[in-house]
Structure 1
Amino acid sequence: MNYLAHCVLSGKDPEVLFGNFIADSVRGRATSGYPPRMLRGIQLHRAIDTYTDAHPLVRHSKSLLWATQKHYAAVVVDLVYDHFLAAHFEQLFKRSLWHYTQEVYAIIDSFAAYMPPRVQHFFPYMKKQNWLYEYRRCEGLHRALEGIGRRSRYANRLSVAIRDIEQHYEALKNDFFAFFPEVQQFSKQWLAHQST
Protein backbone atom coordinates (compact mmCIF):
# COMPACT_ATOMS: atom_id res chain seq x y z
CA MET A 1 0.00 0.00 0.00
CA ASN A 2 1.32 3.41 -0.96
CA TYR A 3 0.22 6.98 -0.14
CA LEU A 4 -3.21 6.97 -1.80
CA ALA A 5 -4.29 3.68 -0.28
CA HIS A 6 -3.07 4.67 3.18
CA CYS A 7 -5.08 7.89 2.97
CA VAL A 8 -8.22 6.07 1.85
CA LEU A 9 -7.84 3.50 4.63
CA SER A 10 -7.63 6.20 7.31
CA GLY A 11 -11.37 6.69 7.73
CA LYS A 12 -12.80 10.19 8.13
CA ASP A 13 -10.59 11.64 10.85
CA PRO A 14 -8.14 14.21 9.35
CA GLU A 15 -5.60 13.71 12.16
CA VAL A 16 -5.58 9.94 11.61
CA LEU A 17 -5.10 10.53 7.87
CA PHE A 18 -2.19 12.88 8.52
CA GLY A 19 -0.54 10.42 10.90
CA ASN A 20 -1.00 7.61 8.41
CA PHE A 21 0.47 9.79 5.64
CA ILE A 22 3.64 10.74 7.53
CA ALA A 23 4.22 7.35 9.19
CA ASP A 24 7.06 6.18 6.93
CA SER A 25 8.98 9.32 7.93
CA VAL A 26 8.51 8.74 11.66
CA ARG A 27 11.21 6.32 12.73
CA GLY A 28 10.66 3.58 15.28
CA ARG A 29 9.45 4.92 18.60
CA ALA A 30 10.09 8.58 17.72
CA THR A 31 6.41 9.41 18.12
CA SER A 32 6.51 11.81 21.07
CA GLY A 33 5.03 15.20 20.32
CA TYR A 34 2.21 13.93 18.13
CA PRO A 35 -1.39 14.32 19.33
CA PRO A 36 -3.17 11.04 20.16
CA ARG A 37 -5.18 10.79 16.92
CA MET A 38 -2.10 11.46 14.76
CA LEU A 39 -0.30 8.78 16.73
CA ARG A 40 -3.24 6.48 16.00
CA GLY A 41 -2.72 7.18 12.28
CA ILE A 42 0.99 6.30 12.55
CA GLN A 43 0.09 3.07 14.32
CA LEU A 44 -2.63 2.30 11.75
CA HIS A 45 -0.09 2.71 8.94
CA ARG A 46 2.24 0.20 10.58
CA ALA A 47 -0.62 -2.23 11.21
CA ILE A 48 -1.69 -2.00 7.55
CA ASP A 49 1.88 -2.62 6.38
CA THR A 50 2.21 -5.69 8.61
CA TYR A 51 -1.14 -7.04 7.42
CA THR A 52 -0.31 -6.34 3.78
CA ASP A 53 3.17 -7.88 3.83
CA ALA A 54 1.80 -11.16 5.21
CA HIS A 55 -1.22 -11.40 2.89
CA PRO A 56 -1.16 -14.29 0.35
CA LEU A 57 -2.55 -12.14 -2.49
CA VAL A 58 0.14 -9.51 -2.01
CA ARG A 59 2.77 -12.23 -1.82
CA HIS A 60 1.45 -13.59 -5.10
CA SER A 61 1.74 -10.16 -6.70
CA LYS A 62 5.33 -9.86 -5.51
CA SER A 63 6.14 -13.31 -6.87
CA LEU A 64 5.04 -12.21 -10.34
CA LEU A 65 7.70 -9.47 -10.29
CA TRP A 66 10.43 -11.21 -8.33
CA ALA A 67 12.43 -12.53 -11.30
CA THR A 68 13.42 -9.04 -12.44
CA GLN A 69 12.72 -6.78 -9.45
CA LYS A 70 13.93 -9.00 -6.56
CA HIS A 71 13.51 -7.17 -3.22
CA TYR A 72 12.11 -4.13 -5.04
CA ALA A 73 9.07 -6.20 -6.03
CA ALA A 74 7.43 -5.00 -2.80
CA VAL A 75 7.95 -1.36 -3.85
CA VAL A 76 6.48 -2.04 -7.27
CA VAL A 77 3.43 -3.80 -5.81
CA ASP A 78 2.81 -0.89 -3.41
CA LEU A 79 2.77 1.54 -6.31
CA VAL A 80 0.84 -0.63 -8.75
CA TYR A 81 -1.89 -1.16 -6.14
CA ASP A 82 -2.14 2.63 -5.79
CA HIS A 83 -2.40 2.77 -9.58
CA PHE A 84 -5.37 0.39 -9.60
CA LEU A 85 -6.98 2.28 -6.72
CA ALA A 86 -6.58 5.61 -8.53
CA ALA A 87 -7.65 4.25 -11.93
CA HIS A 88 -10.86 2.80 -10.46
CA PHE A 89 -11.40 5.33 -7.67
CA GLU A 90 -14.69 6.73 -8.98
CA GLN A 91 -16.05 3.22 -9.55
CA LEU A 92 -15.07 2.16 -6.01
CA PHE A 93 -16.10 5.27 -4.09
CA LYS A 94 -18.60 7.10 -6.32
CA ARG A 95 -16.67 10.34 -6.04
CA SER A 96 -14.07 12.33 -7.96
CA LEU A 97 -10.45 11.29 -7.47
CA TRP A 98 -9.37 14.85 -8.32
CA HIS A 99 -11.51 16.35 -5.55
CA TYR A 100 -10.38 13.69 -3.10
CA THR A 101 -6.70 14.42 -3.75
CA GLN A 102 -7.28 18.15 -3.20
CA GLU A 103 -8.96 17.38 0.14
CA VAL A 104 -6.00 15.21 1.16
CA TYR A 105 -3.48 17.92 0.29
CA ALA A 106 -5.49 20.50 2.25
CA ILE A 107 -5.58 18.22 5.31
CA ILE A 108 -1.83 17.64 5.14
CA ASP A 109 -1.17 21.38 4.71
CA SER A 110 -3.32 22.11 7.76
CA PHE A 111 -0.95 20.07 9.96
CA ALA A 112 2.27 21.46 8.45
CA ALA A 113 3.70 22.16 11.91
CA TYR A 114 3.86 18.39 12.52
CA MET A 115 5.52 17.44 9.23
CA PRO A 116 8.78 15.49 9.61
CA PRO A 117 11.68 16.95 7.56
CA ARG A 118 11.40 14.28 4.86
CA VAL A 119 7.72 15.11 4.30
CA GLN A 120 8.51 18.84 4.29
CA HIS A 121 10.91 18.12 1.44
CA PHE A 122 8.76 15.98 -0.85
CA PHE A 123 5.22 17.14 -0.10
CA PRO A 124 5.38 20.41 -2.12
CA TYR A 125 6.39 18.37 -5.19
CA MET A 126 3.68 15.81 -4.52
CA LYS A 127 1.03 18.51 -4.32
CA LYS A 128 2.27 20.56 -7.29
CA GLN A 129 2.55 17.51 -9.55
CA ASN A 130 -0.51 15.84 -7.97
CA TRP A 131 1.14 12.45 -7.58
CA LEU A 132 -1.95 10.91 -5.99
CA TYR A 133 -4.01 11.78 -9.07
CA GLU A 134 -1.28 10.89 -11.57
CA TYR A 135 -1.05 7.35 -10.18
CA ARG A 136 -4.18 6.58 -12.25
CA ARG A 137 -2.18 6.63 -15.49
CA CYS A 138 0.56 4.15 -16.38
CA GLU A 139 2.74 7.15 -17.32
CA GLY A 140 2.37 8.57 -13.80
CA LEU A 141 3.13 5.18 -12.30
CA HIS A 142 6.24 4.88 -14.50
CA ARG A 143 7.48 8.33 -13.41
CA ALA A 144 6.99 7.42 -9.74
CA LEU A 145 8.95 4.19 -10.16
CA GLU A 146 11.75 5.97 -12.02
CA GLY A 147 11.96 8.59 -9.29
CA ILE A 148 12.24 5.99 -6.52
CA GLY A 149 14.84 4.12 -8.55
CA ARG A 150 16.97 7.27 -8.98
CA ARG A 151 16.81 8.14 -5.28
CA SER A 152 17.64 4.64 -4.06
CA ARG A 153 21.15 4.02 -2.76
CA TYR A 154 21.08 0.49 -4.15
CA ALA A 155 21.18 -0.90 -7.66
CA ASN A 156 17.69 -1.58 -8.98
CA ARG A 157 15.64 -2.09 -12.12
CA LEU A 158 12.72 0.16 -11.20
CA SER A 159 13.19 2.22 -14.36
CA VAL A 160 12.02 -0.80 -16.39
CA ALA A 161 9.44 -2.07 -13.89
CA ILE A 162 6.60 -0.76 -16.05
CA ARG A 163 7.39 -3.56 -18.55
CA ASP A 164 7.01 -6.15 -15.79
CA ILE A 165 3.73 -4.54 -14.73
CA GLU A 166 2.41 -4.55 -18.28
CA GLN A 167 3.36 -8.22 -18.65
CA HIS A 168 1.39 -9.20 -15.52
CA TYR A 169 -1.17 -6.38 -15.55
CA GLU A 170 -4.35 -8.47 -15.39
CA ALA A 171 -3.02 -10.84 -12.73
CA LEU A 172 -1.87 -7.90 -10.58
CA LYS A 173 -5.22 -6.19 -11.07
CA ASN A 174 -7.08 -9.35 -10.02
CA ASP A 175 -4.91 -9.60 -6.89
CA PHE A 176 -5.61 -5.97 -6.03
CA PHE A 177 -9.40 -6.24 -6.41
CA ALA A 178 -9.48 -9.39 -4.29
CA PHE A 179 -7.18 -7.89 -1.64
CA PHE A 180 -8.49 -4.35 -1.29
CA PRO A 181 -11.86 -5.17 0.34
CA GLU A 182 -10.00 -7.29 2.88
CA VAL A 183 -7.56 -4.53 3.85
CA GLN A 184 -10.49 -2.09 4.03
CA GLN A 185 -12.22 -4.38 6.50
CA PHE A 186 -9.00 -4.85 8.47
CA SER A 187 -8.51 -1.07 8.73
CA LYS A 188 -12.10 -0.42 9.80
CA GLN A 189 -11.87 -3.08 12.49
CA TRP A 190 -8.50 -1.81 13.70
CA LEU A 191 -9.82 1.77 13.99
CA ALA A 192 -13.01 0.61 15.71
CA HIS A 193 -10.98 -1.41 18.22
CA GLN A 194 -8.72 1.58 18.97
CA SER A 195 -11.68 3.87 19.65
CA THR A 196 -13.27 1.55 22.25
Structure 2
Amino acid sequence: MNYIAHLHIADITETSYAGSLLGDFKWQIDPSHLALYKGWQLHQAVDTFVDAHPITERFKGLPRAGRRRFAGIIQDIVMDYWLVCYWERFSTDSFELFSHRVVASLGQDKHLCPERLQKMISSLEERNWLAGLGTKEGVERAIRSIQKRWSLGRFLDPFIGELDLLIEQAKQPFLLLYPEVLENACAAAAALDTGQVKK
Protein backbone atom coordinates (compact mmCIF):
# COMPACT_ATOMS: atom_id res chain seq x y z
CA MET A 1 0.00 0.00 0.00
CA ASN A 2 1.17 3.50 -0.75
CA TYR A 3 0.45 7.00 0.61
CA ILE A 4 -3.32 7.20 0.11
CA ALA A 5 -4.01 3.72 1.45
CA HIS A 6 -1.95 4.32 4.58
CA LEU A 7 -3.60 7.72 5.11
CA HIS A 8 -7.05 6.18 4.60
CA ILE A 9 -6.24 3.46 7.13
CA ALA A 10 -5.13 6.14 9.59
CA ASP A 11 -8.43 7.90 8.96
CA ILE A 12 -10.63 4.91 9.71
CA THR A 13 -8.54 3.72 12.68
CA GLU A 14 -8.22 7.25 14.07
CA THR A 15 -4.44 7.01 14.20
CA SER A 16 -1.83 9.59 13.24
CA TYR A 17 -1.71 10.58 9.57
CA ALA A 18 1.96 11.54 9.90
CA GLY A 19 2.69 8.31 11.74
CA SER A 20 1.00 6.35 8.98
CA LEU A 21 3.56 7.65 6.47
CA LEU A 22 6.68 7.24 8.60
CA GLY A 23 7.22 3.66 7.48
CA ASP A 24 8.31 4.99 4.08
CA PHE A 25 10.81 7.49 5.49
CA LYS A 26 14.00 7.22 7.51
CA TRP A 27 12.92 7.96 11.05
CA GLN A 28 14.65 7.42 14.36
CA ILE A 29 11.91 5.66 16.28
CA ASP A 30 10.83 7.69 19.30
CA PRO A 31 8.19 5.84 21.35
CA SER A 32 7.65 9.00 23.42
CA HIS A 33 5.73 10.41 20.45
CA LEU A 34 3.00 7.88 21.07
CA ALA A 35 0.61 8.88 18.26
CA LEU A 36 3.35 8.85 15.62
CA TYR A 37 4.81 5.64 17.00
CA LYS A 38 1.46 3.85 16.87
CA GLY A 39 0.97 5.07 13.28
CA TRP A 40 4.42 3.78 12.39
CA GLN A 41 3.65 0.39 13.98
CA LEU A 42 0.37 0.16 12.09
CA HIS A 43 2.14 0.97 8.81
CA GLN A 44 4.55 -1.90 9.45
CA ALA A 45 1.69 -4.28 10.26
CA VAL A 46 -0.17 -3.36 7.07
CA ASP A 47 2.91 -3.74 4.87
CA THR A 48 3.72 -7.13 6.41
CA PHE A 49 0.16 -8.34 5.78
CA VAL A 50 0.13 -7.11 2.17
CA ASP A 51 3.60 -8.39 1.29
CA ALA A 52 2.77 -11.90 2.51
CA HIS A 53 -0.68 -12.11 0.94
CA PRO A 54 -1.25 -14.64 -1.88
CA ILE A 55 -2.88 -11.94 -4.01
CA THR A 56 0.35 -9.95 -3.86
CA GLU A 57 2.34 -13.01 -4.88
CA ARG A 58 0.04 -13.58 -7.85
CA PHE A 59 0.30 -9.94 -8.91
CA LYS A 60 4.09 -10.11 -8.84
CA GLY A 61 3.99 -13.22 -11.02
CA LEU A 62 1.82 -11.81 -13.81
CA PRO A 63 3.48 -11.60 -17.26
CA ARG A 64 4.93 -8.15 -17.89
CA ALA A 65 8.17 -6.32 -18.52
CA GLY A 66 10.24 -5.55 -15.44
CA ARG A 67 11.71 -7.75 -12.74
CA ARG A 68 9.43 -9.62 -10.37
CA ARG A 69 11.49 -8.47 -7.37
CA PHE A 70 10.48 -4.85 -8.03
CA ALA A 71 6.81 -5.50 -8.83
CA GLY A 72 5.76 -4.98 -5.21
CA ILE A 73 6.84 -1.34 -5.43
CA ILE A 74 4.67 -0.86 -8.49
CA GLN A 75 1.78 -2.69 -6.85
CA ASP A 76 1.76 -0.22 -3.95
CA ILE A 77 1.57 2.77 -6.29
CA VAL A 78 -1.07 1.32 -8.61
CA MET A 79 -3.23 0.23 -5.66
CA ASP A 80 -3.50 3.92 -4.73
CA TYR A 81 -4.72 4.61 -8.28
CA TRP A 82 -7.61 2.18 -7.81
CA LEU A 83 -8.36 3.40 -4.30
CA VAL A 84 -8.95 6.90 -5.68
CA CYS A 85 -11.08 5.46 -8.50
CA TYR A 86 -13.21 3.40 -6.10
CA TRP A 87 -13.10 5.87 -3.22
CA GLU A 88 -16.87 5.94 -2.67
CA ARG A 89 -16.83 2.21 -1.91
CA PHE A 90 -14.59 2.74 1.07
CA SER A 91 -15.45 6.15 2.49
CA THR A 92 -18.58 8.18 3.15
CA ASP A 93 -16.55 11.39 2.88
CA SER A 94 -15.66 12.84 -0.49
CA PHE A 95 -12.03 12.44 -1.50
CA GLU A 96 -11.68 16.22 -1.48
CA LEU A 97 -12.86 16.47 2.13
CA PHE A 98 -10.59 13.59 3.15
CA SER A 99 -7.52 15.05 1.44
CA HIS A 100 -8.04 18.49 3.01
CA ARG A 101 -8.37 16.90 6.47
CA VAL A 102 -5.22 14.88 5.90
CA VAL A 103 -3.10 17.82 4.78
CA ALA A 104 -4.27 19.99 7.69
CA SER A 105 -3.33 17.28 10.19
CA LEU A 106 0.00 16.58 8.51
CA GLY A 107 0.82 20.27 8.74
CA GLN A 108 0.26 20.22 12.50
CA ASP A 109 2.70 17.33 12.97
CA LYS A 110 5.23 18.40 10.35
CA HIS A 111 7.79 19.57 12.91
CA LEU A 112 7.93 16.06 14.38
CA CYS A 113 8.75 14.41 11.05
CA PRO A 114 12.06 13.68 9.32
CA GLU A 115 13.26 16.24 6.79
CA ARG A 116 12.16 14.41 3.65
CA LEU A 117 8.65 13.88 4.99
CA GLN A 118 8.55 17.55 6.04
CA LYS A 119 9.33 18.51 2.45
CA MET A 120 6.56 16.24 1.16
CA ILE A 121 4.07 17.75 3.60
CA SER A 122 5.11 21.25 2.53
CA SER A 123 4.53 20.32 -1.11
CA LEU A 124 1.05 19.05 -0.18
CA GLU A 125 0.32 22.31 1.64
CA GLU A 126 1.36 24.26 -1.43
CA ARG A 127 -0.58 22.06 -3.87
CA ASN A 128 -2.63 19.14 -2.65
CA TRP A 129 -1.63 16.51 -5.23
CA LEU A 130 -3.13 13.43 -3.55
CA ALA A 131 -6.00 13.17 -6.05
CA GLY A 132 -3.41 13.11 -8.84
CA LEU A 133 -2.27 9.68 -7.67
CA GLY A 134 -5.55 8.42 -9.12
CA THR A 135 -4.40 9.23 -12.66
CA LYS A 136 -1.98 7.51 -15.04
CA GLU A 137 0.16 10.64 -15.01
CA GLY A 138 0.23 10.59 -11.21
CA VAL A 139 1.30 6.94 -11.21
CA GLU A 140 4.18 7.75 -13.55
CA ARG A 141 5.23 10.74 -11.44
CA ALA A 142 5.25 8.56 -8.33
CA ILE A 143 7.45 5.96 -10.02
CA ARG A 144 9.85 8.59 -11.34
CA SER A 145 10.05 10.15 -7.88
CA ILE A 146 11.22 6.80 -6.50
CA GLN A 147 13.73 6.48 -9.35
CA LYS A 148 15.31 9.83 -8.49
CA ARG A 149 16.13 8.87 -4.92
CA TRP A 150 16.84 5.12 -5.27
CA SER A 151 20.10 3.67 -6.55
CA LEU A 152 18.23 0.85 -8.33
CA GLY A 153 15.62 3.16 -9.81
CA ARG A 154 16.66 2.39 -13.38
CA PHE A 155 15.11 -1.06 -13.00
CA LEU A 156 11.67 0.53 -12.83
CA ASP A 157 11.92 1.84 -16.43
CA PRO A 158 10.25 -1.24 -18.00
CA PHE A 159 7.22 -0.77 -15.75
CA ILE A 160 6.77 2.81 -16.94
CA GLY A 161 6.62 1.52 -20.49
CA GLU A 162 3.68 -0.74 -19.57
CA LEU A 163 1.62 1.47 -17.28
CA ASP A 164 -1.68 0.79 -19.03
CA LEU A 165 -1.17 -2.95 -18.58
CA LEU A 166 0.01 -2.60 -14.99
CA ILE A 167 -2.94 -0.46 -13.99
CA GLU A 168 -5.39 -2.93 -15.50
CA GLN A 169 -3.58 -5.90 -13.94
CA ALA A 170 -3.92 -4.31 -10.49
CA LYS A 171 -7.68 -3.67 -10.64
CA GLN A 172 -8.98 -7.07 -9.52
CA PRO A 173 -6.17 -7.63 -7.01
CA PHE A 174 -7.03 -4.28 -5.45
CA LEU A 175 -10.76 -5.02 -5.25
CA LEU A 176 -10.07 -8.40 -3.66
CA LEU A 177 -7.24 -7.35 -1.36
CA TYR A 178 -8.15 -3.92 -0.02
CA PRO A 179 -11.22 -4.99 2.01
CA GLU A 180 -9.02 -7.58 3.71
CA VAL A 181 -6.35 -4.94 4.30
CA LEU A 182 -8.87 -2.69 6.05
CA GLU A 183 -10.17 -5.53 8.21
CA ASN A 184 -6.66 -6.55 9.18
CA ALA A 185 -5.62 -2.93 9.84
CA CYS A 186 -8.56 -2.34 12.17
CA ALA A 187 -7.69 -5.52 14.09
CA ALA A 188 -4.02 -4.49 14.25
CA ALA A 189 -4.93 -1.01 15.52
CA ALA A 190 -7.11 -2.54 18.23
CA ALA A 191 -4.28 -4.89 19.19
CA LEU A 192 -1.90 -1.94 19.47
CA ASP A 193 -4.34 -0.25 21.86
CA THR A 194 -4.31 -3.31 24.10
CA GLY A 195 -0.56 -3.86 23.80
CA GLN A 196 -0.88 -7.17 22.00
CA VAL A 197 1.41 -6.20 19.10
CA LYS A 198 5.15 -6.34 19.68
CA LYS A 199 6.86 -2.94 19.72
> Number of paired residues?
194
Distance 1:64 1:165, change over 3 A: farther
Do the aligned partners of 2:85 and 2:134 also contact (CA within 8 Å) in 1?
yes
Match of 2:148 in 1: 150
Separation in 2 of the partners of 1:65 and 1:129?
36
Structure 1 residue 167: Cα displacement: 1.9
Aligned pairs for 1:59-138 (under 5 A) are 59-64=57-62, 67-138=65-136
Distance 1:128 1:61, change over 3 A: farther
Distance 1:69 1:96, change over 3 A: farther
Q: Tell me, what secondary structure is at the counterpart of 1:135?
A: helix
Separation in 2 of the partners of 1:152 and 1:49?
19
Let me know the Cα RMSD of the aligned residues.
Answer: 2.2
Structure 1 residue 94: Cα displacement: 3.2
Match of 1:3 in 2: 3
Deviations 1:71-91 (A, max 9, x none): 321111110001100121124
Unaligned runs of 5+ in 2: 195-199
Separation in 2 of the partners of 1:178 and 1:188?
17
Unaligned runs of 5+ in 1: none
Counterpart among 34, 52, 55 of residue 53 in structure 2: 55
Match of 1:17 in 2: 17
Structure 1 residue 110: Cα displacement: 0.8
Separation in 2 of the partners of 1:181 and 1:15?
18
Distance 1:162 1:127, change over 3 A: farther
Match of 2:197 in 1: none
Separation in 1 of the partners of 2:80 and 2:125?
16
